[in-house]
Amino acid sequence: MKAGNIFSEIPDSPIDEIFEILLKNDHFRLERIVSSGQATPPGEWCDQDMNEWVILLSGSAGLLFEGEEEVTLMHPGEYVHIPAHKRHRIEWTDPERKTVWLALHYE
């Protein structure tokens, strides 16, 4: 059986976010994302071609969706659904510990 631990094998001091595909087929891509304090650059939005269901598993983050005034705080266990082309920003991720996300991108 292909097995692992989502919290293991995380490099110590990455400058960039780490994206790792756990599972993929023609219809979806399941991905581990590890953030270390990164954020979407000021003035920019994420605009994705695929739908995304994403759960935060450790650390914390703040998400902003276009048209909303309040940042959505995310703590371990919290998930959110982001439809394709719903513009959003990662306002911040935890500067003190790794933020681990599990994201399901699908058509």
Task: Find the farthest-apart pair of alpha carbons in the chain and give their distance in angstroms, rounded.
Answer: 45
Nearest distance from residue 34's CB to its own copies, in Å? 13
1 binds its own copies (CB under 8 A): yes
Binding segment toward its own copies, per CB under 8 A, in 5-13, 33-41, 42-50, 89-97: 5-13
Query: Which one of 30, 39, 46, 50 is in contact with its own copies (CB under 8 A)?
Result: 30
C-alpha closest to that of 47 among 95, 83, 101, 15: 83
Mask for 55-74, x = binds its own copies (CB under 8 A): x-x-------x------x--
The candidate with the shortest Cα–Cα distance to 74, out of 104, 99, 41, is 99
Residue 85's nearest CA partner among 56, 59, 58, 46 is: 46
Give the residue among 52, 48, 53, 57 at the shortest CA–CA distance from 10: 57
Q: Does 106 bind its own copies (CB under 8 A)?
A: yes
| Alpha-carbon gap, residue 76 to 69, rounded angstroms | 23
The answer to the question of residue 77 lying near its own copies (CB under 8 A) is yes
Rule CB under 8 A: which residues touch its own copies?
1-8, 22-23, 25, 27-28, 30, 53, 55, 57, 65, 72, 75-82, 86, 102, 104, 106
